[in-house]
């Protein structure tokens, strides 16, 4: 048994500042015997998407500066210090990586300061572990949760297949060799002249399109490896747009060719690869459950296709719910992952905790 650092009842304060979002959460945990209860008491995220949308990209310089200002007011609103000057939390979880060093440091330094002043335990959390934990925030998933679990983690910066043998025990069994799935959505959307962020825009357009209208590459689909590749889509879509005789800036008006058909075809290519590789990984590693997490897991076409294929090909495997409300970066998932670590007695020394921009799972 790991050493106990906390009672069976505790509150985790969490901070996330790894990239675009500044977020703070307070999560309650109570344990009795083998039963436990989890309650999200407070959760607030200040998103920077509106600023970034103006520039058509993420603006890290703005991001780092905004994180500092936002974090202080988010902590204030979370009422982490009660009127009697007592803290309302029992432990602190903070994202330590991967991410932008300057952005990560804002959260890590704030968390360390709080740990120093209050003497509460602190735990540095891997942002990717946070995404895995986001599925566990769904109460129904916690009831059906059983290891081993296969996770498809898909976002703007990640496309990974992770085998979870237990809490805090992970193995990456497949990953993209080049572009992430979310990056493939954003960049092909850019080639079509769609506004940033391209992914959601593309799936909106795709709703009325024919996914078989254009034949796009699905590299590495048939080979045995669990790795993926999405970089070829950019070239293929560029060639298509050129062949259709259009500048991409005109494409968005959809006057000369069917934009929905193109979007549906691109979406089909990306989701086919994600689903096929997940099924292949599941046949190899025989998990009890499958989860999908990260920004791209919000894509409804991906959700439907995955549910359909798991049901047809892996009838004994449980498909858990995507983490609705926790898709993008948020502090609630960091609290959940922090809680996993704290339950196992894993903590960090505030003096030593540092941002780790290159952290892997």
Partner 1 sequence: MRNIKISSKGKTTAVKVPSENDWGLVVEKLLPLIRPGTILAVQGNLGAGKTTFIQALAKALGIKRFVPSPTFALMRSYKLPKTVNGIHRLVHVDAYRLKDELELQVLDLDEELSDGKSLLVVEWPEKIEKWIAARESRVIRLKIV
As a whole number of angstroms, the distance between CA 314 and CA 216 comes to 27
CB of 178 to ligand ADP, least distance (A): 5
| Structure tokens, 336 | 């959940």
| Structure tokens, 12 | 């985790």
Give the interface segment with ligand ADP, choosing from 17-25, 130-138, 227-235, 295-303 (CB under 6 A).
227-235
CA atoms lying within 13 Å on the CB side of residue 202: 33
Nearer to partner 1, 22 or 347 (CB): 22
3-state SS assignment for residue 199: helix
Per rule CB under 6 A, is residue 227 in the interface with ligand ADP?
no
Nearer to partner 1, 114 or 274 (CB): 274
Could you say which residues in the range 240-259 bind ligand ADP, by CB under 6 A?
none
Q: H/E element holding 285?
A: helix 259-285
Q: What is the Cα 258 distance to its own chain's centre?
A: 31
CB of 242 to ligand ADP, least distance (A): 15
Nearer to ligand ADP, 88 or 231 (CB): 231
Q: Convert residues 153-182 into a mask of x (bound to ligand ADP by CB under 6 A) and - (unbound).
A: -------------------------x----
Identify what 199 binds: ligand ADP, partner 1, none; CB under 5 to 8 Å per kind: none
As a whole number of angstroms, the distance between CA 126 and CA 260 comes to 37
Q: H/E element holding 16?
A: strand 9-16
Per rule CB under 6 A, is residue 235 in the interface with ligand ADP?
yes
Question: Which residues in this chain contact partner 1 in the complex, by CB under 8 A?
Answer: 19, 55, 57-64, 98-103, 155-158, 175-180, 182-183, 187, 190-191, 231-232, 234-235, 237-238, 357-358
Total of residues contacting ligand ADP (CB under 6 A):
5
Tokens 């920004």 found at: 295
Helix, strand, coil share of the chain (percent; to 5): 45, 20, 35
Nearer to ligand ADP, 41 or 234 (CB): 234
Q: Cis peptide leading into 179, omega within 30 of 0?
A: no
Identify what 284 binds: partner 1, ligand ADP, none; CB under 5 to 8 Å per kind: none
All residues at 6 or more sequence positions from 242 whose CB lies less than 8 Å from its CB, including other chains: none
Residues that bind ligand ADP (CB under 6 A): 178, 231-232, 234-235
């Amino acid at each position: 048994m790991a050493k106990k650092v906390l009672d069976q009842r505790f509150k985790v304060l969490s901070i996330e500042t790894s990239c675009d979002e500044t977020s703070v959460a307070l999560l309650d945990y109570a344990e009795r015997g083998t039963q436990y209860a989890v309650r999200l008491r407070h959760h607030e995220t200040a998103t920077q998407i509106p600023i970034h949308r103006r520039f058509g990209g993420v603006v890290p310089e703005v991001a780092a500066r905004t994180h500092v200002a936002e974090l202080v007011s988010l902590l204030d609103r979370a009422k982490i210090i009660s009127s009697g000057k007592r803290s309302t939390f029992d432990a602190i979880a903070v994202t330590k990586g991967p991410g932008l060093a300057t952005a990560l440091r804002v959260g890590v330094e704030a968390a360390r300061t709080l740990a120093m002043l209050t003497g509460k335990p602190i735990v540095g959390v891997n942002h990717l572990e946070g995404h895995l934990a986001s599925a566990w925030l769904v109460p129904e998933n916690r009831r059906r949760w059983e290891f081993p679990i296969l996770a498809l983690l898909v976002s703007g910066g990640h496309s990974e297949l992770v085998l979870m043998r237990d809490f805090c025990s992970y193995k990456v069994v497949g990953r993209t060799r080049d572009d992430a799935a979310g990056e493939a959505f954003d960049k092909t959307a850019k080639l079509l002249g769609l506004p940033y962020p391209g992914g959601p825009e593309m799936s909106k357009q795709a709703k009325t399109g024919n996914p078989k209208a254009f034949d796009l590459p699905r590299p590495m689909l048939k080979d045995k490896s669990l790795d993926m590749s999405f970089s070829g889509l950019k070239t293929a879509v560029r060639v298509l747009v050129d062949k259709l005789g259009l500048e991409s800036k005109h494409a968005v008006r959809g006057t000369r060719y069917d934009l929905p058909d193109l979007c549906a075809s691109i979406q089909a290519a990306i989701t086919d690869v994600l689903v096929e590789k997940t099924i292949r990984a599941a046949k190899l590693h025989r998990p009890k459950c499958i989860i999908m997490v990260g920004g791209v897991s919000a894509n409804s076409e991906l959700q439907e296709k995955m549910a359909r294929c798991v049901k047809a090909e892996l009838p004994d495997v449980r498909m858990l719910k995507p983490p609705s409300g926790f898709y993008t970066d948020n502090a609630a998932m960091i609290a959940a992952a922090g809680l996993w670590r704290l339950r196992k007695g894993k903590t960090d020394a505030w003096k030593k905790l540092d941002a780790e921009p290159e952290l892997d799972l």
